[in-house]
Amino acid sequence: MSENSHFLTEQDPTSAPQQASSGSAFLTVEDLTVRFPTADGTVQAVTDLSYTLEQGKTLGIVGESGSGKSVSSMAIMGLHDPKRSEMSGSIRVGDTEILGLSNNKMQKIRGGDVAMIFQDPLTSLHPFYSIGDQISEGYRAHADVSKSKAKAKAIEMLDRVGIPQARSRVDDYPHHFSGGMRQRAMIAMALVNDPKLLIADEPTTALDVTVQAQILDLLQELQHDFDSAIIIITHDLGVVAEMADDVLVMYGGRGVEYGPCRDILTHPQMPYTWGLLSSVPDVTGDTSAQLIPIPGNPPSLLNPPTGCPFHPRCAHRDKVPGDLCRSELPQLIPGNRGPGHVKRCHLADPEEIYLTEILPEIAPDLVELIMHENDDVAPGNGR
Amino acid sequence: MVGYIIRRIVSGALVLLATSVAVFALFFYGPADPAEAYCPETRCTPERLENIRAGLGLDRPVLVQYGEYMKGIVVGNDFEIGSIAIPCDAPCLGVSFKLRVDVTDYLLDRFPATVSLAVGGSVIFLTLGLAVGIFAARRRGTSADKGIVGASLIVNAIPYYLLALLAYLYLISAWAIFPETAYVSPLEEGLLPWIKGLLLPWLVIGVFYSTQYARFGRGSMIEALNEDFVRTARAKGLPERKVVMKHGLRAAVVPIVTIFGLDFAGLLAGTVFTEQIFSIQGIGLSAIQAIGTKDLPIISATVLFAAFLVVTANIVVDIVYSMIDPRVRL
């Protein structure tokens, strides 16, 4: 997280927030729906999810456990067993449609153009094979090279991700490495084939805070060098603030808010995003202040709520006339922050509620700043 | 590693020592009198029995006899029964009073047949069991998987001797699909006669044991395939075959090594039913015959030999562990 400022202040009024989706996207996810039939019924893990990502940009996907973050990303890797899952919609990587791709073709994409880093580097590395073997194995799966060349590449990659004495550490086993080094080795393994898209599924959750910062720095540095697109899945808004260009907030398998990172963090338009922001501790403010948790539990994906998936836990549903929140699913539409920032909420003026009710609770010192900035950048004028 | 193996060998030797005491106690305090074996049943008077005991040295104190026994194992011992001298070189496990042979030689003569049965059977049940187990694990929850689990339970529920007996009665006696079984030395008679003579017993052992390995293999494979590192292997773009057979199997094989070590030792110590039913002169059959004739030296030697095999198997399993899993430091 940045040195001294709360990420809510990271808004720089002089720079216009970029569009969430524009230009030539490298990754296009459209109406992605993932279902898992089980004995208890169908798990509606992801429903009608859409987003895009350009080369060199970072998308942060945030949400609680079970919100569909990982499931949707695993779908991009084609890691769902087609016999145990039902998928529809479209995932395009470059010019290739991923959904319905044969296993042979999918293998070439996995670990090639698209690579993935997992949450827990200890369980994600095979305990019985050396780090070097695991990296060169991934390299040789995509490049027709000799074992010795692949090993040289593994050493080069370990060196690249900052493992000291890579040449002697290459034959070590994962249990010889510390947590941070394991995650570096995971990253080396993922980047060995110069992927154009890197999916990092909670890459720092299992690491301690100082190592977290190092790993995030490393990812940014590598992104700069390789010009990869990155999807970073997390429930840590600090990570999002540091890394992401765009943010997708997921709830109950759906995208509920999506837009440029700064805009979402400073002008969230959806009560669930407010809840996420309210449950982040502010280390620069009053440290004795209570965090405000989101009441209730994540929704059942077997039997999701009618209407807005968040309505059973939403403190603001009374502000919507009629029983709309319960009866009708809000569409993902632009609010008053311009077309690049979309939200799924029936509230007429969420901005107003955020500035008058939510922000004073979570960061009273920022109200003036953001209100003032709001006057400068008039809402709805294309920003 | 070397230090660990030495420690294990020492502790294994202690286990064997304890076993030898138990075996000897059986010999000395057990209900069967070794001297009876030498006493002709029709003309056996108590006086005569007493004479034989004295002749065999069985009337000496137990510690003296145990010392004699141990000495035999280490340096050998010469026995004299009546007027016949039976030399018994180290390791001497005693002399059969009934058969008048060195027990060690007697067992070693029969060991190749048992080893042949154990090795051939193991090759079949390991390949068959693991193949079926992996197949079922990859299709878990499907009707193929349920069919395999059900079938393996049914086969497993048949008593082994019944399975072997039925196989013998139908496949050899009645329908003559398989040739008569017999053990011939593969070194002297050639491989083909050896295989021909043991094919059906191998299959019976193989099929029966494979059911257990199929279920174990299925279970540990399902567990392994759910591991994060298998997902990583898939995410690297490895072909599914490599994901399952390299990354999955390497992890799944660990618990299987344990039960295989003990099963294999058990088979080497004598496949009693197999040898009896298919009349193969192995360790198991000789033990059964020795029990029938109260030939205690052979029985006790077989027990000691079996204990030796189990102890050795355990040490080998631990060494294999350290070869599979680099985290295991010996």
B249: nearest CA partner in chain A: A128
More confident residue, B63 or A363: B63
Between B237, B238, B325, which is nearest A128 by CB? B325
Q: What integer is the mean pLDDT of B234-239?
A: 94
Please answer yes or no on whether B238 and A137 come within 8 Å at the CB atom. yes
The chain A residues in contact with chain B (CB within 8 A) are: 77, 79, 103, 107-112, 115-116, 118, 120, 123-130, 134, 137-138, 141-142, 173, 175, 186, 189
pLDDT exceeds 50 at position A271 = yes
DSSP A176-244: GS-HHHHHHHHHHHHHTT--SEEEEESTTTTS-HHHHHHHHHHHHHHHHHH--EEEEEES-HHHHHHH-
Is A189 part of any domain?
no
Between B228, B236, B324, which is nearest A128 by CB? B324
Is A371 part of any domain?
yes
Between A110, A173, A175, which is nearest B237 by CB? A110
Angle between helices A179-191 and A131-140 (to 10 degrees): 20
Angle between helices B103-138 and B143-157 (to 10 degrees): 160
Chain B hits for A129, Cβ within 8 Å: 250
More confident residue, A7 or A322: A322
Count how many pairs of residues, chain A against chain B, have C-beta atoms within 8 Å.
71
Domains in chain A, number: 1
Cα separation, A213 vs A207, in Å, equals 10
Is A158 part of any domain?
no
Please answer yes or no on whether A138 and B324 come within 8 Å at the CB atom. no
Is A64 part of any domain?
yes
pLDDT band at A382 (very low <50, low <70, confident <90, very high): very low
Chain A hits for B324, Cβ within 8 Å: 128
Is A343 part of any domain?
yes
Distance from CA of A169 to the nearest CA of B (A): 15
Please answer yes or no on whether A175 and B234 come within 8 Å at the CB atom. no
pLDDT exceeds 50 at position A20 = no
Chain B hits for A141, Cβ within 8 Å: 236-239
Distance from CA of A343 to the nearest CA of B (A): 32
DSSP A248-299: EEEETTEEEEEEEHHHHHHS--SHHHHHHHHTS--SSS-TTSPP-PPPS-PP
Distance from CA of A67 to the nearest CA of B (A): 20
Domain ranges in chain B? 105-324
Please answer yes or no on whether B237 and A120 come within 8 Å at the CB atom. no
Please answer yes or no on whether A126 and B236 come within 8 Å at the CB atom. no
Cα separation, B12 vs B311, in Å, equals 6
Cite the beta strand spans of A39-85 per DSSP E: 41-53, 58-62
Please answer yes or no on whether B236 and A111 come within 8 Å at the CB atom. yes
pLDDT digits (tens, 9 = 90+) for A32-68: 999 999 989 999 999 999 999 999 999 999 998 889 9
Please answer yes or no on whether A128 and B235 come within 8 Å at the CB atom. no
pTM of the predicted structure, to 2 decimals: 0.82
A73: nearest CA partner in chain B: B235
> Going by C-beta distance under 8 Å and a sequence separation of 6 or more, which residues neighbour residue B102?
B86, B87, B88, B89, B92, B95
**Domain span including residue A271:** 1-113+195-383
Percent helix, percent strand, percent coil in chain A, to nearest 5: 35, 20, 45
Between A77, A128, A142, which is nearest B251 by CB? A128
Asked if A170 contacts A130 with a C-beta cutoff of 8 angstroms, the reply is yes
ipTM for this prediction: 0.84
Please answer yes or no on whether A126 and B233 come within 8 Å at the CB atom. yes
Among A226-230, B50-54, B255-259, B287-291, name the one with the lowest average pLDDT. Answer: B50-54
DSSP A145-162: --HHHHHHHHHHHHHHTT
Is A379 part of any domain?
yes
pLDDT score of B81: 67
Is A219 part of any domain?
yes
Please answer yes or no on whether B326 and A124 come within 8 Å at the CB atom. no
pLDDT band at A285 (very low <50, low <70, confident <90, very high): low
Q: Which fold has domain B105-324?
A: MetI-like fold (1.10.3720)
3-class state of residue A375 by DSSP: helix
Please answer yes or no on whether A79 and B229 come within 8 Å at the CB atom. no
Please answer yes or no on whether B324 and A126 come within 8 Å at the CB atom. no
Prior bond to B91 cis, omega within 30?
Answer: yes
Residue A216: CATH number of its domain: 3.40.50.300
pLDDT digits (tens, 9 = 90+) for B122-158: 999 999 999 999 999 999 888 999 999 999 999 999 9
Read off the tokens for B221: 């494979």
The partner residues of A87 in beta bridges, in order of sequence, read A34
Please answer yes or no on whether A173 and B236 come within 8 Å at the CB atom. no
A140: nearest CA partner in chain B: B238
Cα separation, B56 vs A361, in Å, equals 100
B323: nearest CA partner in chain A: A128
Is A176 part of any domain?
no
Asked if B221 contacts B252 with a C-beta cutoff of 8 angstroms, the reply is yes
Angle between helices B249-268 and B103-138 (to 10 degrees): 150
More confident residue, B73 or A381: B73
